[in-house]
Chains A and B, each alone.
Chain A
Amino acid sequence: MATRLIIEAGRTERQYWRDLWKYRELFYFLAWRDLLVRYKQTTVGVAWSLIRPFLTTVVLTVVFGKLGKMPSGGVPYGLLVLCGMLPWQFFSTALSESGNSLVTNSNLISKVYFPRLIVPAGSVITSFVDFVISAAFLVVLMLWYHFVPPATVVLLPFFVVLAFAASLGVGLWIAALMVEYRDFRFIVPFVVQFGLYASPVAYLSSLVSDRYGDPYRLLYSLNPIVGVIDGFRWCILGGQNVFYWPGLLMSLLGTAFLLVTGIWYFRRTERTFADVI
């Protein structure tokens, strides 16, 4: 026989990763479904992924740049905000979508087998596609300001991967916790709302060290998205400020920790999903 399947209490780890590879097309199909469904019966459709960051950017630019007169490090404030906005919006939608994904797909979980990791990962992919579409808006804004990005822009993909890993790590944690504790349905929107201000979306992260000193900035960098946003600004807007390496290292470590523990916790609770959900 070509394939032999053994079912036992405590399924082997190798079988799981092999299955994940076997079902790899499902990543694509679930993301494709979510994208198709999201803009069904909407008039402007995909344009929503442009309108959302546009409006938020305008509001934050006016409030922080014009009214608050925050320092921008020599670049147009709108660009500064958008460079923070794009990774933040990716992170926050990925977070809430993947967090909810297992519960909204509970009919799948209880009726058919596939590695469950695909469900939250598919949601992160969906948010990533949105992120790529919104990135077009950044290009438009750069043309508008006649802004030419420095050579460091080629390093941007690294930070995109970092953002992806951070989203997946946190998403896995929340998805697995949500199965048993629906409290996270209320916690996540709050965290997302709070995170917009706790992350350097509308201001420069150097403000933290300017005001409170470097140790606090290191602490601040524990938020994995801080390193991502700093990286985005450094790549796209250039290094007016010296790049803060300890912060990046902190974010890298934080992201790796979240991702590894996220997978570990998800795998540990996964076997009981169908019984609990």
Chain B
Amino acid sequence: MSVSVIEVENLSKRYLIGHQRDARDALRHRLEAALRHPFKWLLNRRRQSQASREEFWALKDISFDVKQGDVVGIIGRNGAGKSTLLKILSRITEPTSGRICMDGRVASLLEVGTGFHQELTGRENIFLNGAILGMSKAEISRKFDEIVAFSEIEKFLDTPVKRYSSGMYVRLAFAVAAHLEPEILIVDEVLAVGDTEFQKKCLGKMSEVSRCGRTVLFVSHNMAAVRALCRTGVLLEAGRVIACDSIEAVAAMYMNRAAERISSPSVQLSKPRGGSDVWIESVHLLCDGQPGAKLEFGQELSLAVVFRAATPIQKPMIGYLIRSSRGENVVNANNNFLPSPGYAESVTEGTIICNLGALPLMAGSYSVSFWLGRNPEDQHYAEDILHFEVLEKDIWGNGKLPTRSLSCFWWPTEFEFSPNCLEVPLFNDISKPVAA
């Protein structure tokens, strides 16, 4: 049982980020350059194309082993390189350097219903999707009834999938994928869709897969699902492997690192590549005027932004957005249309403090994004750069806490009771003719 089935050695993936404007005219520019100076173009071709693009290492020197029968959870923040790793493992894209050795038939499931065609019926799509995922026609025919039973859509087999509800669609798609029977299964965040009951069924099917001695690689943000399914975990951060251990240890480490980020009230930024000549240098959270990322209910919140400008500026445009941990926009404000005077004289650096006062925010964690620039079109954008926590407070003084999941704001409402039925005058009453 301790044979390595996946060996990843020094895997790296580099992306060249071209500038959007260049990319659109690439053909025209290349043709123009080629026609004007054919020899120069031939000589400089390679050098130029590298100079005009920037490198970005999505994965850098990744190495880890997966044993047979293991269920490995790959966790990390957005942009840590999880998806890139899965794409390389599933051979969608090639690594820049490094090597992977895999023993056994590999199937990957990066998306539910890849290759489903809206116009085709459920029956036709089972065959099409199965073939795209690498099953032979005979294999699909053999498992057809099983797939249909798992998906619970018998009645709609001959209906085009464009008329399916999204739940039915997902069920059918997962049913096909679940019957792949590979030796190594690679699964991306596919469980984020579908209802809870079906999610459980899928998780059940996946642990069944691993019980048969198959190996599963699983990526998800749903930590509960990762913990329930996986035995080992790989934590990725900024394209590197931070930890590779039992799932409990890795999950704890991931949580701790997230908490560390939240508790920091100040963040330094690096100058953005290209773009705006006014940029944010650092951002700070102030609670009642003191640096801090834990806010008591009723405390006054301020956001301080330190900026620099390449050429003097009198009134930088600034905006911020506070988001809840559920991703809802809570507060969004900017000074674009405020007649505020800005600085008396043009400056090349300074601090802008946004005073929000005592926000009636419910307990929970929130993130703040900023943008700053010379005009609304050309701005430095720092997404979810600060995180703060609002602590729970006994608002009514009776030991009961407001339910935090229902809303973002706590708002005092006065409830008044009256024994009479209120007669509301009806406007535009069309039942009566208009008086002449």
Contact = CB atoms under 8 A, between A and B. Distances in A.
26 contacts: A1-B104, A3-B105, A4-B101, A6-B100, A7-B95, A7-B100, A7-B102, A9-B95, A9-B96, A23-B134, A29-B128, A29-B131, A29-B132, A36-B119, A36-B120, A40-B120, A40-B160, A109-B92, A111-B92, A111-B110, A112-B90, A112-B108, A112-B110, A114-B132, A271-B94, A274-B92
Given A5-B106, A29-B128, A274-B87, A112 B92 contact: yes
Contacts, number: 105
A181 B26 CA distance: 8
A11 B91 CA distance: 10
A275 interface: yes
A8 B7 CA distance: 12
Interface in B67-119: 87-106, 108, 110-111, 114-115, 117, 119
A274 B93 contact: yes
B178 to A, nearest CB: 16
A67 interface: no
Given A1-B5, A33-B128, 10 more contacts: A1-B103, A3-B104, A3-B105, A6-B100, A25-B131, A33-B117, A37-B120, A109-B92, A112-B90, A112-B133
Contacts of B95: 7-9
A268 B96 CA distance: 15
Contacts of A274: 87, 92-93
A180 B16 CA distance: 14
A183 B27 contact: yes
A3 B182 CA distance: 11
Contacts of B103: 1, 3-5
A2 interface: yes
A27 to B, nearest CB: 10
B136 interface: yes
A6 B120 contact: no
Given A9-B97, A33-B128, A275-B93, A25 B137 contact: yes
A212 interface: no
Interface of A: 1-11, 23, 25-26, 29, 32-33, 36-37, 40-41, 107-114, 180-181, 183, 271-272, 274-275
Contacts of B160: 40
B279 interface: no
B124 interface: yes
A110 B84 CA distance: 11
Interface residues of B, number: 43
The 5 closest A-B pairs by CB, nearest first: A1-B103, A113-B91, A29-B131, A7-B100, A5-B102
A234 B127 CA distance: 42
B343 interface: no
A220 B89 CA distance: 49
Contacts of A271: 93-94
A185 to B, nearest CB: 12
Contacts of A7: 88-89, 91, 94-95, 99-100, 102
Nearest to A6: B101
Contacts of A110: 92
Nearest to A11: B94
B156 interface: no
B15 interface: yes
Contacts of A108: 114-115, 132
A24 B77 CA distance: 39
Tell me which of A29, A32, A109, A271 has the highest count of chain B C-beta atoms within 10 A of its own C-beta.
A29
B98 A9 contact: yes
A111 to B, nearest CB: 4
Tell me which of A32, A107, A113, A274 has the highest count of chain B C-beta atoms within 10 A of its own C-beta.
A113
A275 B58 CA distance: 12
A113 B90 contact: yes
